[in-house]
């Protein structure tokens, strides 16, 4: 866990303009900067970066966030990894508070493991140049030296302790933690034989080596492919402090630009499939790492792009893997995102297919990939007798636990409608097909033209405070009701800003509330209002607007208090003080009647 005060200090140190300009060329536009949005295709720049707010916003697709959010969206990092990446850029060391039982290593030890993995990679790459057998194998697989270099391919010699020449402390615990070596099991003495001591040896021997990189380009593991006959054909690094198979994807580091440009990630099953596709110009492919697809794999890709296509062999094993990928995709799908499935002929994998048919044929096949919704329905229907009532009832029974996992509202509704049509029932007649969990928080897009929803006074105040956080000190929290989510969110923001130093930015405020109950309301307030418009603040009188809104808030507070006193008067006589208070509240309301906010009329009751 990364302390919140460090996150605030980090966001105070980094400049979002510098962070984004590393990836997207920004141009000055008044007090802000502009570019074509990296998150959707556009010709006219609508991607806005504000140095004063330390925030970005796209007026085309609605994407917005602080520096941490940009790194997460653009590079597919997790929240902690995005923080670590930014900290590294400005030379800050990330302090991490861990429970005593987590078993995770400290950052310095992790850095040491990363350095050792890089030493091993350099060794393996050097050995590849010395191995005619390995070079010949790669040539027979159609790989050029350029692709081998791009993916950092190497070779582990057929020797038991070749890494002893790489690591002077080969027998140390630190080397064992890399996963590159194995300690044999010691044996007991028996039948006159002496005790057999444990012996350390290299995990990878006689294999072409495929380095696995994390989202920052660090080597975190290896996959090894035998060059001749033998088993296992592929061998992977074990899970270590650096490497977790269920989170990582082979080739993502090299493919991230092509994936974003194509707005499509192709997921295949093997390392060789990835490099073979890249050799033929299909550079947006990644592979799972000797494990079935996980929700984390799918979520990571859908953070990068809108479309994911799984490509599997057409045999029974491939279809089994595809169905598993479908199941884990359901909870992480969102409206506007697409998952599809391509099944190659049973005798093919992507490597053999692209070598025989070429990249154009593979790309054409991808265009015919079966959408998840179609695959889900057709696969279940193929396993029951849809001609009988019993078969259709079974069809719904099998579909129900899958469909309830879909949290994308529109997609879920359309699939449920399709199931009802195929079963011969109305959707209302099919119970238990709604999502079990609440819907995932959508990213608010631009408001539809011509439609303007009335905003609560609390939300309007929240928008102005988010635009200029220091204004929070002029808002009386006693006037803010806590009976609504808007009111509670405003209370929380006011309290945070009042305790912080002057000069807090929008980016810092949003980071403080990341993952809290108020995050969605703050996100909606940003996306649905004028917080991120391009009007220079010099042309606005935010303090006057806020004063007008606070007057309305005070009037509403008076109305609530007046109503309370009127209800109490029905139960018995008021005290003289309460009578005087009621008279004063009545007079105030009469005097304030018809007064509106400088910018917004109050919503109709």
User: In the structure encoding, which two tokens stand for residue 446, read together?
Assistant: 């631009």
- 132-178 confidence digits (pLDDT tens): 999 999 999 999 999 999 999 999 999 999 999 999 999 999 999 99
Arithmetic mean of pLDDT, 414-439: 75
Region 230-259: mean pLDDT is 91
Q: Residue 368, exposed/middle/buried by CB under 10 A (0-12, 13-18, 19+)?
A: exposed
* Closest CA relative to residue 286, chosen from 143, 134, 125, 151: 151
Cα radius of gyration rounded to whole Å, the chain: 30
The CATH classification of domain 252-376, taken from the options 3.40.1360.10, 2.60.120.10, 3.30.70.1150, 3.30.930.10: 3.40.1360.10
Q: What is the mean pLDDT of residues 192-201?
A: 79
Per-residue HEC secondary structure of 165-234 comes to HCCCCCCCHHHHCCCCEEECCCECCECCECCECCCEEECCCCEEEEEEECCCCCEEEEEEEECCCCCCCE
Which residues does residue 267 pair with via DSSP β-bridges, in sequence order? 286, 310
What fold, for 4-89?
Answer: DNA Primase; Chain A (3.90.580)
Tell me the mean pLDDT in the region 486-491: 87
H helices of 500-541, where? 506-512, 519-528
Say if CB 549 and CB 569 are below 8 A apart.
Answer: no
C-alpha 65/C-alpha 340 separation (Å) is 29
**pLDDT tens across 281-337, in order?**
999 999 998 788 999 899 889 888 899 999 998 888 889 999 999 999 999 999 989
Q: What is the pLDDT of residues 441-470, one digit of tens each?
A: 444 444 444 344 567 888 888 888 888 898
Please determine, for residue 477, whether its predicted confidence score (pLDDT) is greater than 50. Answer: yes
Predicted model pTM:
0.66
Range 107-183+200-236 classified under CATH 3.40.50.150: no
List the one residue out of 81, 67, 72 whose CA is nearest residue 9: 67
Which pair of structure tokens corresponds to residue 248? 């990582």
* Whole-number pLDDT of residue 218: 87
Q: What is the pLDDT of residue 440?
A: 42
For 69-118, how does the pLDDT look when each residue is reduced to its tens digit (9 = 90+)?
Answer: 999 888 877 788 889 889 988 889 888 665 433 444 456 677 788 899 99
Q: Using CB atoms within 10 A of its CB, is residue 225 exposed (0-12), middle (13-18) or buried (19+)?
A: buried
pLDDT in tens, 23-33: 899 999 888 99
Return the domain boundaries, the chain. 4-89, 107-183+200-236, 252-376, 457-592
List Cβ neighbours of 108 (8 Å cut-off, separation of 6 or more): none
Say if strands 154-156 and 207-213 run parallel, antiparallel, or are unpaired. antiparallel
CATH 3.20.20.80 fits 457-592, yes or no: no
Burial label, 70 (beta-carbon count in 10 A; 0-12, 13-18, 19+): buried
* pLDDT score recorded for residue 446: 45
How high is the mean pLDDT of the chain?
A: 85
Do residues 267 and 293 make contact, with C-beta atoms less than 8 angstroms apart?
yes
CB-based contact 197:186 (threshold 8 Å): yes
Name 250's Cβ contacts closer than 8 Å, sequence gap at least 6: 210, 212, 223, 271, 274, 286, 287, 288, 289
């Amino acid at each position: 866990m990364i302390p919140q005060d460090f996150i605030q200090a980090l966001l105070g140190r980094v400049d979002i303009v510098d962070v984004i300009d590393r990836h997207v060329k920004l141009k000055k536009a008044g007090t802000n900067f502009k570019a074509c949005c990296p998150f959707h295709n556009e010709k006219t720049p609508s991607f806005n970066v504000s140095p004063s707010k330390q925030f970005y916003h796209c007026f085309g697709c609605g994407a917005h966030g602080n520096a941490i959010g940009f790194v997460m969206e653009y590079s597919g990092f997790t929240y902690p990894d995005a923080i670590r990446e930014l900290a590294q850029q400005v030379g800050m060391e990330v302090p991490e508070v861990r429970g005593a039982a987590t078993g995770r290593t400290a950052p310095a030890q992790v850095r040491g493991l990363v350095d050792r993995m890089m030493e091993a990679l350099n060794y393996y790459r050097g050995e590849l140049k010395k191995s005619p057998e390995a070079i010949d194998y790669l040539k027979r697989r159609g790989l050029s030296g350029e692709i081998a270099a791009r993916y950092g391919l190497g070779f582990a010699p057929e020797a038991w302790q070749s890494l002893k020449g790489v690591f002077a402390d080969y027998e140390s615990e630190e080397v064992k933690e890399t996963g590159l070596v194995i300690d044999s099991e010691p044996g007991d003495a028996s039948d006159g034989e002496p005790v057999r001591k444990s012996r350390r040896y290299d995990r990878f021997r006689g294999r072409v080596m495929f380095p696995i990189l994390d989202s920052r380009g660090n080597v975190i593991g290896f996959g090894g492919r035998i060059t001749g006959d033998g088993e296992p054909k592929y061998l992977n690094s074990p899970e270590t402090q650096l490497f977790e198979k269920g989170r990582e994807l082979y080739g993502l580091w090299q493919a991230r630009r092509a994936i974003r440009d194509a707005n499509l990630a192709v997921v295949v099953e093997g390392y060789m499939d990835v490099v073979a596709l890249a050799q033929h110009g299909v550079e947006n492919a990644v592979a799972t790492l000797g494990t079935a697809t996980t929700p984390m794999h799918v979520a990571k890709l859908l953070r990068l792009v809108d479309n994911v296509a799984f490509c599997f062999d057409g045999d029974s094993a491939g279809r089994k893997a595809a169905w598993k990928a479908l199941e884990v995709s359901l909870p992480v799908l969102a409206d506007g995102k697409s998952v599809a499935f391509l099944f190659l002929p049973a005798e093919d994998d992507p490597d053999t297919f692209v070598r025989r048919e070429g990249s154009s044929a593979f790309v054409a096949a991808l265009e015919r990939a079966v959408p998840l919704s179609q695959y889900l329905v057709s696969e279940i229907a193929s396993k029951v007798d849809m001609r009988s009532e019993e078969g259709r009832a079974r069809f719904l029974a099998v579909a129900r636990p899958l469909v309830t996992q879909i949290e994308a509202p529109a997609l879920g509704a359309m699939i449920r409608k399709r199931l009802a049509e195929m079963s011969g029932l109305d959707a209302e007649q099919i119970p238990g097909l709604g999502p079990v969990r609440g819907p995932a928080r959508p990213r608010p897009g631009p408001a539809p033209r011509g439609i303007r929803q009335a905003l609560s006074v609390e939300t309007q105040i929240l928008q102005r405070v988010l635009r200029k956080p220091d204004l929070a000190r002029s808002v009386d929290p006693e006037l803010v009701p806590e009976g609504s989510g808007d009111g509670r969110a405003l209370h929380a923001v006011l309290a945070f800003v009042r305790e912080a130093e002057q000069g807090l930015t929008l980016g810092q405020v949003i980071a403080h509330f990341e993952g809290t109950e108020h995050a969605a309301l703050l996100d909606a307030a940003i996306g649905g209002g004028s917080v991120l418009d391009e009007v220079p603040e010099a042309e606005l009188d935010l303090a006057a607007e806020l004063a007008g809104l606070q007057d309305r808030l005070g009037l509403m507070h008076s109305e609530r208090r007046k109503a309370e006193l009127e209800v109490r008067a029905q139960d018995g006589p008021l005290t003289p003080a309460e009578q005087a208070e009621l008279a004063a509240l009545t007079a105030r309301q009469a005097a304030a009647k018809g007064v509106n906010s400088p910018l917004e009329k109050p919503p109709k009751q």
